[in-house]
Every structure is written in C-alpha cells, then in structure tokens.
C-alpha cells in the first residue's frame, strides 16, 4: 500500500493452514510494488512436509509441499531424504525442485542454512553456490538444484525464499 507520504509498503499475507495430519503450516507471501511476489518457506522441518516426525534414510524417495502456488519437491536419488524439527539435509545426488504457479516465472531463490559446500548446480543458469551460501537468479518456470553424486557430506537448509514475477 502507499501511505499518506507517498511511501510504498509491500503487502504481506501470512496464512496458517494445516496439513493432512493437523500440523500447522504457515504460508508467507509478500507482494512487491514492481508486481513481483515473494513466497517464503520459513521452516523446512518435518512438519512442513506433512510428516509427524523426523525422517531419514530410505523412509521417503520424495516429499513435496506447496505454498501460494509454488511447488517445492525434495527427491532422493542416491543419498538420504532427511528432515528434523527445523531443517532438511541436502545429501549427494539429491535434488530440490521448484515449480512456479501458472502465469508466473521464478526470478530468484535464496536459501538460509549452514554447512554450504559450494558444489550445488542447477538445471537453469545462474546458480551461486559457495561455502557461505546458496542462491539462484534467472527467469524460469522450474528450477532444480542438484548435489554432486560424489559429495561426501550434507548441507543443512532451514528456509528458502522464492521470488516470482507475472509472465
């Protein structure tokens, strides 16, 4: 909205819903003046994936969640799919895929976490993967992050923010 002094303040919505097991799930979306919107997955703990307890090992080959039309899928290709109370572990050969809602393009994805290794790639340019962080910028309807098959440890990912623009 624009205040009395002509200053723009982004509109925000925070909606709390429940998953199929009754766990609370927050959807946080910011609508920006330039027409973009920012969708925040504020915790990547097991409850955000619709699970009642931490999971690891061969429990799941794939889990997904959606917020404000953005679908986020975590797939085990060789390593383990893992989530504790607050975060997921991104193991070797696993993928993290984002799909934009109809009518939108993804322009930015920024991760919060720790233990970054600087070895993540994406299927669409441009990925910035270093020991201090992980992000992606570009223009795509879908983006997939991949850890190398020979990775020796994991990255801990606790939250992610996705920015979208209308096509």
* 154: three-class secondary structure by DSSP: coil
Token pair in block for residue 106: 């993804």
**pLDDT-derived band of residue 125, with 50, 70 and 90 as boundaries?**
very high
Q: What is the pLDDT of residues 12-39, one digit of tens each?
A: 555 565 554 555 555 557 777 777 889 9
Tell me the C-alpha distance between 91 and 93, whole Å. 7
Tell me the C-alpha distance between 57 and 135, whole Å. 26
Per DSSP, helices labelled H in 14-159 are: none
Is the distance from CB of 84 to CB of 49 less than 8 angstroms? no
Question: What does the pLDDT read at residue 22?
Answer: 59
pTM recorded for the entire structure: 0.83
Residue 4 has pLDDT above 60, yes or no: no
Question: What does the pLDDT read at residue 36?
Answer: 85
Tell me the C-alpha distance between 13 and 99, whole Å. 20
**pLDDT-derived band of residue 147, with 50, 70 and 90 as boundaries?**
very high
Is the distance from CB of 29 to CB of 13 less than 8 angstroms? yes
Question: What does the pLDDT read at residue 24?
Answer: 59
């Amino acid at each position: 909205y624009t205040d009395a002094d002509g200053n723009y303040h982004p509109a925000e919505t925070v909606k709390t819903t429940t998953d199929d097991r009754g766990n609370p799930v927050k959807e946080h979306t910011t609508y920006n003046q330039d027409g973009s919107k920012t969708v925040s997955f504020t915790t990547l703990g097991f409850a955000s994936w619709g699970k009642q307890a931490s999971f690891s090992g061969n429990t799941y080959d794939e889990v997904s969640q959606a917020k404000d039309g953005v679908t986020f899928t975590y797939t085990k290709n060789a390593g383990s799919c893992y989530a504790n109370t607050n975060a997921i572990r991104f193991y070797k050969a696993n993928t993290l895929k984002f799909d934009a809602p109809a009518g939108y393009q993804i322009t930015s994805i920024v991760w919060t976490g720790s233990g970054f290794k600087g070895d993540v790639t994406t299927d669409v340019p441009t990925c910035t993967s270093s020991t201090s962080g992980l992000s992606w910028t570009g223009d795509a309807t879908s983006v997939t992050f991949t850890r190398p098959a020979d990775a020796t440890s994991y990255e801990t990912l606790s939250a992610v923010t996705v920015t979208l623009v209308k096509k």
